[in-house]
Amino acid sequence: MKKEEEQKENKEMEKIVSLCKRRGFVFSGSEIYGGLAGTYDWGHFGVALKNNIQQSWWKKFVDNRRDMYGIDTAILMNGKVWEAAGHLANFADPLDGKQFNTMLKTEVGAKKGEVSVSYLRPETAQGMFVNFKNTVDAFHPKLPFGMAQIGKAFRNEIAPRDFLFRVREFEQMEIEYFVRKEDWEKYFEYWRGEMLDWMEEIGINMNKVHEVEIGDGERAHYSQRTIDFEFEFPFGQKELFGLAYRTDFDLKNHKLEYIDEDAGDKITPHVIEPSLGIGRTVLAILLSVYSEDEKGGEVRSFLKFKPNIAPVICAVSPLLKNKPELVEYANTRVFAPLKAEFGRVIWDDNGNIGKRYRRQDEIGTPFCVVVDFDTLTDNTVTVRDRDTGEQERIKVENLKKYIKDKI
Ligand code: GAP
């Protein structure tokens, strides 16, 4: 790669990382003690963004469907799970000519003789497989059906790097979709489409997404077919999400079966697994929405989040914070009702209006509402659009609807 290009790409990452810190999205883990490689802490707006992403995923793949069962399983699991799942033998990366198992080992129990070696789960998937029978017994689902989980996973990565891209503690959103063996190709295609739809819904730049077929010898030990959805990150085109056909590998190893009451047969279902990392989703979105333009002779940076995932939907300001009549109006007649309606609404009276707009642009707030002296007589407010910088006068009584129509 040419030096100039490399510098430009490093700059893009630097800008994102520093914006994330400056505006309270993401901080380095344990920063005041020199950090801990591969860990990050999420600030107020980062948590909000992450929650919106998770909610969008859960709504599309669990709430809006009839064939999906949500679950939230323990991070600590009996060590035998990892033996049966093949992770003890296979979940490893090459290091100094040897295979280094990247599961994070821990000990569970206190008293002598009661201590057992366990691992922080390296994928949420196994929590679902080991609850397959519980789920079938509790809900009697008919094939095909799925289990869905959002939760933490841990990997002792040899070289954590590239901000949120490769870390040691992260969150996954995973689905295990159980099908009859003969149907696997059909549902593999189906889930490929669903994943693409969702990426578009949350504002990932689809021109930068590429599907890559993972060849024999390159796939995880459990997979007979894998497609990686790769994203053009500034540091290279790399895996964003994966879609795997895990066959009956996991259920077989855990000795779990399914009795089809209608067909009267006992089978081991096969599994299609769409697997997504939340940190990588956040990074891909940030890289997709980060924008710069010129406003008033100055370069401004702004995040063009889709309103459905923006951490803040609207900021409310009194034009001047030392005018009680403006503050009172803005607080009681604008901020409070919008906050009650949308939740993701913040009060911002810090600095002059220009400064507030720059701050909200960097947080990616689609709308800024300002209460000024005209408001007191005509009950209208200024609504400023993040992307165009244009301002409109809107009647206070129409504000809720105005915002609702745009999100
Ligand atoms: N259950 C299948 C599974 O875990 P994977 O390809 O190893 O498959 C799935 O991981 C997703 O989890 C990846 O596509 C990525 O989004 C995320 N992921 C994996 N390792 C990660 C890491 N070290 N840091 C951040 N995200 C990671």
pLDDT at 116 over 90: yes
pLDDT of 288 above 70: yes
Please compute the mean of the pLDDT values over residues 137-141 and round it to a whole number.
97
Could you tell me which of 132, 25, 122, 133 has the C-alpha nearest to residue 76? Answer: 122
Average pLDDT of the segment spanning 55-74: 98
pLDDT of residue 1: 55
Residue located nearest, by CA, to atom 16 of ligand 1: 277
Alpha-carbon gap, residue 381 to 392, rounded angstroms: 8
> Inter-axis angle of helices 3-22 and 278-289, to 10 degrees?
110
- DSSP sequence for 279-314: HHHHHHHHHHHEEEEEETTEEEEEE---TTT-S-SE
CB of 162 closer than 6 A to ligand 1?
A: no
d(CA 224, CA 201): 29
Is the pLDDT higher at 307 or at 262? 307
Confidence of residue 347 (pLDDT cuts 50, 70, 90): very high
Give every CB contact of residue 5 below 8 A, 6+ residues apart in sequence.
none
CB of 87 sitting under 6 A from ligand 1: no
396: left (phi over 0), alpha (psi -120 to 50) or beta: alpha
| Closest by CA position to 84, among listed 221, 247, 249, 253 | 253
Gap between the Cα atoms of 352 and 355, Å rounded: 5
Does ligand 1 have an atom closer than 6 angstroms to the CB of 280?
Answer: yes
Cα 244 to ligand 1 centre (Å):
12
Q: Which atom of ligand 1 is nearest to the CA of 275?
A: 9
pLDDT of 261: 83
Per-residue pLDDT, averaged over 308-333, amounts to 97
Residue 341 to residues 135, 173, 359, 396, Cα–Cα distance (Å): 36, 28, 23, 14
Question: Who's near 44: CB < 8 A, 6+ residues apart?
Answer: 24, 311
Whether cis (ω within 30° of 0) applies to the bond prior to 337 is no
Ligand 1 centroid distance, CA of 188 (Å)? 18
* Residue to substitute in 73, 123, 167 for testing ligand 1 pocket (most ligand atoms within 8 angstroms of CB): 123
Report how far Cα 199 is from the mean position of its chain's Cα atoms: 11
Average pLDDT of 260-279?
94
pTM above 0.85, yes or no: yes
Q: Are 226 and 220 in contact (CB under 8 A)?
A: yes
* Whole-number Cα distances in Å, 203 to 33, 56, 121, 258: 36, 12, 30, 38
Q: Report pLDDT for 10.
A: 78
Q: Is the pLDDT of residue 7 over 90?
A: no
Q: pLDDT tens, 119-132?
A: 999 999 999 999 99
Is the model's pLDDT at 2 over the cut of 70? no
**pLDDT tens for residues 149-202?**
999 999 999 999 999 999 999 999 999 999 999 999 999 999 999 999 999 999
pLDDT attached to residue 264: 85
Average confidence score pLDDT of the chain: 96
Angle at 48 between CA 157 and CA 56, to 5 degrees: 85
Share of the chain above pLDDT 70, in %: 99
